[in-house]
Amino acid sequence: MSSSKKFIYAFLKKNKILKEWKDALNKYLKDKYSLKPFYDFRKFLNALFFAPPSLTLYYYPKNKEGLKEIIKVRKSFYLINIPLILILDKLEPELLLSIADWTDDFIILDNNIEEAYLRIEYTFKKLDRISDNNPLTGLPGNISISKAIEKVMESSKPYAVAYIDLDNFKTYNDIYGFTQGDEMIKNLARIIVNILSELSKEDYFVGHIGGDDFVFIVPLDKVETVSKEIIKRFDLVVPSFLKKEDLERGYFVSANRVGEVCKIPLPSISIAIVPVWKGKFKHIGEISARAAEVKKVAKSMEGSSYFIDRRK
């Protein structure tokens, strides 16, 4: 099997009709995709979570309640960039409209199998056009970040837009290499998402600007609690990314930007927090400019820290 093939997971029912349908579809897919069928819902859910595919097919009539779990996993763990196509025995307009925000397309089992194949191809093409998710973390990128900030700018509820930056990350990359650096970035992304899902439930947003820069949005009354917990958990895991001698020394010995050998602090995070409510800012650029000012203050503080802009 070619390692370059995209994986498609299919949750199906064991019967003659679906077997024939799967085999017929696989004849169209086999050159470009690897179709992996699942018949046990728990195994399917675990595979979706721990080894995400490029696209998911879900036979809705077999487990109608299971669709709610699939949608919950996609929302909570930023798997929304993995297309979900429902397989139905017949057209169900009310159902399809009710879940249109969380599914990408549908296939009617009795329709021509070539149509099923074309819907899959069209879904991949559409994803290529509109997806701005960061390839390293899978988190939404700059287009989604801008839309999320614009949305809270118009909300009657006060929110906080928080920018997270890894301090001394360039030095870490230079000493430990880009592969280790990527692992640290991915770990920070998991920490942010996990904490927000725990402490802010469904009312949050996380985006990856690029490199070691992230953005999260939460209700204003939750931002300090969330920030403290992100710092706490990040500082707990940082030692696992460092060599014993660096930990014992408490700093890196490395050349600075002008080539001078000096002591550079170990990795930490700075969180610049900008409260946002309706009418406070006229343009998203004002928030970015304010955040840049706040970030300078946060970075001037020793170790991991957060700083909230208290200006009106």
Give domain status of residue 32, yes or no. Answer: yes
Whether residue 160 is found in the same domain as residue 287: yes
C-beta of residue 80 within 8 angstroms of C-beta of residue 73: no
Please identify, among 100, 127, 154, the residue that sits at the C-terminal boundary of a domain: 127
- Give residue 245's domain range: 142-308
pLDDT of residue 51: 87
Q: Residue range 57-81: average pLDDT?
A: 85
**Residues 73 and 30 both lie in one domain:** yes
Regarding whether 122 and 87 lie in a shared domain, the answer is yes
* 132 domain residue, yes or no: no
| pLDDT of res. 78 | 58
> What confidence score (pLDDT) does residue 1 get?
37
Q: What is the mean pLDDT of residues 206-221?
A: 96
CA distance 280 to 286: 10
Instruction: Indicate whether 25 pLDDT > 70.
Output: yes
pLDDT value of residue 90: 94
Which pLDDT score is estimated for 77? 62
pLDDT tens, 32-52? 999 999 999 999 999 988 888
Same domain? For 203 and 92 the reply is: no
**Calpha distance 84→57 (Å, rounded):** 6
Q: Are residues 55 and 105 in the same domain?
A: yes
Count each helix (H run) and each strand (E run) in the chain, helices first.
11, 12
Contacts of 124 (CB under 8 A, 6+ apart): 6, 54, 55, 83
Write down the pLDDT at residue 129. 65
The stretch 74-103 carries a mean pLDDT of 86
Average per-residue pLDDT in the chain?
92
Q: Do 47 and 150 lie in a common domain? A: no
Give a yes or no: residue 136 inside a domain: no
CATH of the domain at 45: 3.40.50.2300
Output the pLDDT for position 42.
95
Q: Domain boundary residue among 127, 158, 178?
A: 127
Q: Specify the amino acid at residue 89.
A: D
Torsion angle defined by CA atoms of residues 242, 246, 250 and 254, in that order, rounded to the nearest 10 degrees? -110
DSSP 267: P
Q: Give the pLDDT score at 92.
A: 94
The two structure tokens encoding residue 8 = 């498609």
Q: What is the pLDDT of residue 130?
A: 66
More confident: 133 or 86: 86
Residue 87 has pLDDT above 90, yes or no: yes
Q: What is the pLDDT of residues 233-274, one digit of tens each?
A: 999 999 999 999 999 999 999 877 777 888 999 999 999 999
Q: Domain for residue 212, yes or no?
A: yes
User: Do residues 191 and 83 share a domain?
Assistant: no
Q: What is the pLDDT of residue 225?
A: 98
Give yes or no: residues 153 and 106 share one domain: no
Q: Which residue has the tokens 């990040």?
A: 234
Distance (Å, rounded) from C-alpha 36 to C-alpha 264?
49
Q: Which run of H or of E encompasses 231? A: helix 223-237
Tell whether 183 and 241 lie within a shared domain: yes
**Which of 127-141, 187-201, 221-235 is predicted with the least confidence, judged by mean pLDDT?**
127-141
Residues 149, 261 share a domain: yes
Q: Is the pLDDT of residue 2 over 60?
A: no
CATH classification at residue 299 = 3.30.70.270
pLDDT at residue 260, as a whole number: 81
On whether both 157 and 304 belong to a single domain, the answer is yes
Domain boundary among 94, 127, 160: 127
Structural domains in the chain (count): 2
Segment 146-170 mean pLDDT:
96
Task: Give the rounded percent of residues in the chain with a pLDDT score beyond 70.
Answer: 97
Residue pLDDT, tens place only, 115-148: 999 999 999 888 776 667 888 998 889 988 999 9
Query: Is 70 exceeded by the pLDDT of residue 21?
Result: yes
Q: Are residues 48 and 168 in the same domain?
A: no
What is the average per-residue pLDDT within 167-196? 95
Give the chain's radius of gyration (CA, Å).
23
Distance CA 163, CA 92 (A): 43
